[in-house]
Amino acid sequence: MKPKPELPKWNRISDLLAEKERSQRFLARKLGISANTVNSYCAQRLQPTLDRLFQIAEILGVSVVDLINVDYKPEKE
């Protein structure tokens, strides 16, 4: 069985949660969404909308730019 390819790291939500010593459940409760959705954001399986990024930034006390992985560069086909 092939290992799953690593997904590109578009956002830094999990990094910032760790830095702020907050859990995914904390963020889910604050956003009023499921913990599974926040887990999908952190695992890069799902990306939050721009509105949601602003909500997350406010909750974590950071700028939206801090949530985005500015080093991410899509592969050219």
Q: What is the pLDDT of residues 13-43, one digit of tens each?
A: 999 999 999 999 999 999 999 999 999 999 9
Give the CATH number of the domain where residue 54 resides: 1.10.260.40
The residue range of the domain holding 25 is 13-67
Does the residue 60 lie in any domain? Answer: yes
pLDDT of residue 56: 98
Q: Considering the entire predicted model, what is its pTM?
A: 0.82
- Distance, CA of 13 to CA of 60 (rounded, Å): 9
Instruction: Check pLDDT > 90 for residue 55.
Output: yes
Q: Give the pLDDT mean for 2-10.
A: 72
Give yes or no for a contact between 62 and 16, defined as CB atoms under 8 angstroms apart.
yes
- Distance, CA of 2 to CA of 20 (rounded, Å): 35
